[in-house]
């Protein structure tokens, strides 16, 4: 019998949207809440002896739960492996990365148990909390049969000493060690994974190696507690450029370095509603301005676009930080995201797009965030990293790049590198005419991060533009392309709908009313105090 087809497109759209949002928020929540110190003990209770019976039971569990990723033969070649990044572990070789043993050695049984229990941040490896402890030991026994090295494994766990207290001094010492130990060559000057070794391996040697972005706490693969970071520094990752620093740095120095790495990482703080702050004067066209630095921010998680073929199963951009300001004439957005390489490859260029419904919905029904649908048009603002614009500062808006020159020739206006589009679904993208292109912007890449400013008039007579009205919840969605990851068109990272609202400034009269109320309150209080004293002395 054939599966029933969805005849109602709205139901199908809702299910796809719900599934995407559930995945996005679920992945974000999982990544941030499941952070366990995997070296909490050198022993795990309840270990089962490896017998024919326990290994046979483990094989049954493995072939039900594990082989989709790790392959039926344990070589990491499961059916979903091509769509995963990082790739699943190959159990037949000695490439176990998260261990408490020395570099180059196999993990202890307890290491494998802890990984099965907690999962691995920033990967598709989940926490197998559905398995009982005996079942975990059974599947561990079976996994070890893929590698004969376990038969004579004499690996010893490194000693994890008592954690040093974190202080401003230990963090400062750790920052110095980050330079002296050359960590920045892979991880970048500010820890975003954009070091010269990373970019060289990607650009010149075409190797898929990516240094970890240390600024995103939820993506630290070995765990994000100080103890996890200390252990990773001490053991290194097998079969990667990340070596062990146990023999190069003292125990105290490794704790200092762990404190520094922890200090430059942050948790993702997402808000469903983003408030655009009102300012009286001009909106600054520099992201370094204090008004932007102090503006409310929200980090929006992204996932690969998989609703429409071809899908992006291995996206490289996973979040964007957004801020917004407006004045009586304009509204502006500051968008920031990490990008290791700033590499524009022929037709593939870094880009970002903001999407809004043309008609602000009154209820819950919105256009599809995948470029709208036939009945609900969307308005799109898209910025691209034109090659001649790269390396310019945000203040250098007078320096015309290719995009600005092309736009200026058509419109007579400076600083326009933002293109405005409309869409009513996939393959309906239509660029607005030159006279309607009223948005300006500029971008800067530095130390593994793009910062893009988009500024447009608050009001527009064009019926194809979104009206930015005060007091409204305006749906907002994002799309990001990474040129170095060969992303273009539908191959992009996207977000579901969020909301932006224009924060209404508090009228000065309100402060006057508050002052009057305070004065009246104090006067009444003094009146009763004086009255009480007169009675007391009578």
Q: Which two tokens stand for residue 245?
A: 């620093």
pLDDT of residue 480: 97
Q: Which of 30-44, 340-354, 389-403 has the lowest mean pLDDT?
A: 389-403
Query: Is residue 502 predicted with pLDDT exceeding 60?
Result: yes
Q: Which two tokens stand for residue 98?
A: 């998260």
Contacts of 519 (CB under 8 A, 6+ apart): none
pLDDT of residue 174: 97
41 burial via Cβ count (<10 Å: 0-12, 13-18, 19+): exposed
Helix spans in 144-225 (H):
168-180, 184-187, 196-203
pLDDT of residue 183: 96
Q: How far apart are CA 446 and CA 396, in angstroms?
A: 14
Residue 216 C-beta-side C-alpha neighbours within 13 Å: 26
Q: Which of 133-142, 148-157, 420-429, 504-513 has the lowest mean pLDDT?
A: 504-513
Confidence of residue 197 (pLDDT cuts 50, 70, 90): confident
Cis status, amide bond into 242, omega within 30 of 0: no
pLDDT of residue 388: 42
Contacts of 348 (CB under 8 A, 6+ apart): 481, 483, 484, 485, 486, 487, 488
pLDDT of residue 519: 63
Query: Is residue 170 predicted with pLDDT exceeding 50?
Result: yes
Report the pLDDT averaged over residues 363-391.
80
Cβ 299 vs Cβ 270: under 8 Å: yes
pLDDT of residue 509: 53
pLDDT of residue 48: 92
Query: Is residue 387 predicted with pLDDT exceeding 70?
Result: no
**207-220 per-position pLDDT tens digit:** 667 889 999 999 89
pLDDT of residue 382: 95
201-207 CB contacts, 8 Å cutoff, 24+ apart = 202/340, 202/341, 202/343, 202/484, 203/341, 203/343
Q: How far apart are CA 217 and CA 31, in angstroms?
A: 9
Q: Is the pTM of this model over 0.75?
A: yes
Q: How far apart are CA 73 and CA 340, in angstroms?
A: 34
Query: Is residue 525 predicted with pLDDT exceeding 60?
Result: no
Q: What are phi and psi of 523, to 5 degrees?
A: -60, -45
**283-297 per-position pLDDT tens digit:** 998 999 999 999 999
Residue appearing with tokens 């500029």: 442
Q: How far apart are CA 90 and CA 87, in angstroms?
A: 9
Residue appearing with tokens 């409310």: 296
**95-118 per-position pLDDT tens digit:** 899 999 999 899 999 999 999 998
Outline where DSSP puts E strands in 292-385: 297-301, 303-304, 319-326, 330-338, 351-357, 378-384
Q: Which of 21-25, 43-47, 471-475 has the lowest mean pLDDT?
A: 21-25
Cis status, amide bond into 86, omega within 30 of 0: yes
pLDDT of residue 449: 95
- Interstrand relation of 319-326 and 330-338 (parallel, antiparallel or unpaired): antiparallel
Taking the CA atoms of the chain, what radius of gyration do you get in angstroms?
A: 28
Query: Is residue 33 predicted with pLDDT exceeding 60?
Result: no
Query: Is residue 180 predicted with pLDDT exceeding 80?
Result: yes
> For residue 232, which of 342, 103, 360 has the smallest C-alpha distance?
103
Mean pLDDT of the residues in the chain: 82
pLDDT of residue 516: 63
- Tell which wins on pLDDT, 378 or 399: 378
User: Which helix (H) or strand (E) element contains residue 251?
Assistant: helix 251-264
Cβ 148 vs Cβ 137: under 8 Å: no
Helices (H) and strands (E) in the chain, counts: 13, 14
Instruction: Choose the most confident range, by mean pLDDT, from 264-273, 401-410, 520-529.
Output: 264-273
Instruction: Choose the most confident range, by mean pLDDT, from 83-97, 264-278, 423-437.
Output: 264-278
User: Which helix (H) or strand (E) element contains residue 33?
Assistant: helix 9-33
**293-331 per-position pLDDT tens digit:** 999 999 999 999 988 888 888 898 999 999 999 999 999
Query: Is residue 30 predicted with pLDDT exceeding 80?
Result: no
pLDDT of residue 538: 54
Confidence of residue 401 (pLDDT cuts 50, 70, 90): very low
Task: Please tell me whether residue 101 adopts helix, strand or coil conformation.
Answer: strand
> For residue 329, which of 283, 382, 379, 381 has the smallest C-alpha distance?
283
Number of Cβ atoms within 10 Å of the Cβ of 452:
26
The alpha carbon of 239 is separated from its chain's Cα centroid by a whole number of angstroms, namely 26
Q: How far apart are CA 203 and CA 199, in angstroms?
A: 6
Share of the chain above pLDDT 90, in %: 54
Q: Which two tokens stand for residue 380?
A: 């799109």
- Interstrand relation of 498-502 and 273-278 (parallel, antiparallel or unpaired): parallel
pLDDT of residue 152: 85
Query: Is residue 268 predicted with pLDDT exceeding 60?
Result: yes
pLDDT of residue 484: 85
Q: Which two tokens stand for residue 278?
A: 């009102």
As a residue count, the chain comes to: 538
Report the pLDDT averaged over residues 136-156.
92
pLDDT of residue 395: 36
Number of Cβ atoms within 10 Å of the Cβ of 156:
11
Report the pLDDT averaged over residues 333-345.
88
Confidence of residue 252 (pLDDT cuts 50, 70, 90): very high
CA dihedral in degrees (455, 478, 485, 431; nearest 10)?
A: -60
Report the pLDDT averaged over residues 74-100.
91
Rounded alpha-carbon distances, angstroms, from residue 168 to 165, 173, 176? 10, 9, 13
- Tell which wins on pLDDT, 241 or 347: 241
């Amino acid at each position: 019998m054939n599966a029933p087809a969805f005849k109602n497109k709205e139901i199908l759209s809702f299910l796809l949207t719900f599934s995407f949002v559930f995945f996005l928020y679920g992945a974000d929540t999982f990544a941030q809440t499941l952070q366990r110190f995997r070296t909490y003990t050198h022993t795990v209770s309840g270990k089962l002896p490896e017998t024919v019976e326990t290994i046979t039971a483990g094989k049954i569990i493995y072939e039900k739960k594990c082989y989709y990723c790790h392959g039926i033969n344990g070589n990491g070649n499961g059916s979903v492996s091509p769509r995963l990044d990082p790739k699943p572990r190959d159990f037949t070789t000695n490439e176990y990365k998260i261990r408490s043993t020395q570099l180059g050695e196999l993990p202890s049984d307890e290491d494998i148990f802890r990984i099965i229990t907690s999962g691995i941040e920033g990967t598709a490896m989940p926490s197998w909390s559905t398995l009982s402890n005996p079942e975990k030991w059974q599947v561990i026994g079976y996994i070890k049969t893929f590698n004969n090295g376990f038969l004579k494994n004499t690996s010893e766990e490194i000693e994890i000493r008592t954690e040093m207290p974190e202080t401003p001094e230990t963090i400062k010492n750790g920052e110095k060690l980050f330079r002296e130990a050359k960590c920045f060559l892979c991880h970048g000057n500010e820890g975003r994974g954009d070091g010269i070794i990373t970019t060289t391996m990607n650009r010149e040697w075409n190797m898929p190696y990516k240094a970890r972005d240390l600024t995103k706490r939820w993506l630290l693969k070995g765990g994000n507690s100080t103890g996890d970071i200390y252990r990773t520094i001490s053991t290194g990752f097998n079969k990667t450029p990340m070596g062990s620093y146990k023999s190069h740095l003292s125990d105290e120095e490794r704790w200092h370095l762990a404190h520094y790495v922890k200090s430059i990482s942050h948790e993702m703080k997402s808000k469903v509603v983003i408030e655009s702050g009102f300012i009286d004067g001009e909106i600054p066209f520099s992201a370094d301005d204090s008004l932007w630095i102090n503006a409310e921010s929200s980090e929006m998680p992204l996932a690969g676009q998989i609703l429409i073929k071809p899908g992006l199963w291995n996206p490289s951009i996973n979040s964007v930080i957004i801020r917004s300001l407006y004045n009586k004439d304009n509204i502006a957005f500051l968008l920031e995201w990490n990008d290791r390489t700033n590499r524009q490859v022929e037709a593939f260029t870094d880009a970002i797009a903001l999407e809004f419904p043309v008609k602000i919905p009154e209820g819950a029904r919105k256009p599809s965030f995948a470029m709208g649908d036939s009945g609900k048009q969307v308005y799109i603002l898209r910025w691209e990293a034109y090659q001649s614009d790269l390396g310019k500062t945000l203040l250098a808006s007078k320096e015309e790049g290719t995009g600005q020159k092309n736009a200026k020739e058509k419109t007579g206006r400076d600083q326009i590198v933002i293109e405005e589009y409309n869409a009513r679904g996939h393959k309906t993208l239509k660029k607005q005419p030159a006279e309607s292109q009223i948005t300006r912007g500029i971008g800067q890449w530095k130390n593994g991060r793009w910062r893009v400013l988009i500024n447009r008039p608050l009001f527009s007579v064009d019926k194809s533009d979104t009206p930015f009205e005060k007091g409204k919840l305006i749906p907002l969605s994002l799309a990001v392309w990474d040129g170095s990851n060969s992303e273009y068109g539908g191959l992009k990272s996207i977000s579901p709908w969020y909301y932006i609202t224009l924060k209404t400034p508090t009228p000065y009269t309100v402060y006057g009313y508050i002052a009057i109320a305070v004065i009246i309150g104090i006067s009444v209080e003094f009146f009763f105090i004086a009255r009480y004293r007169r009675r007391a002395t009578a």
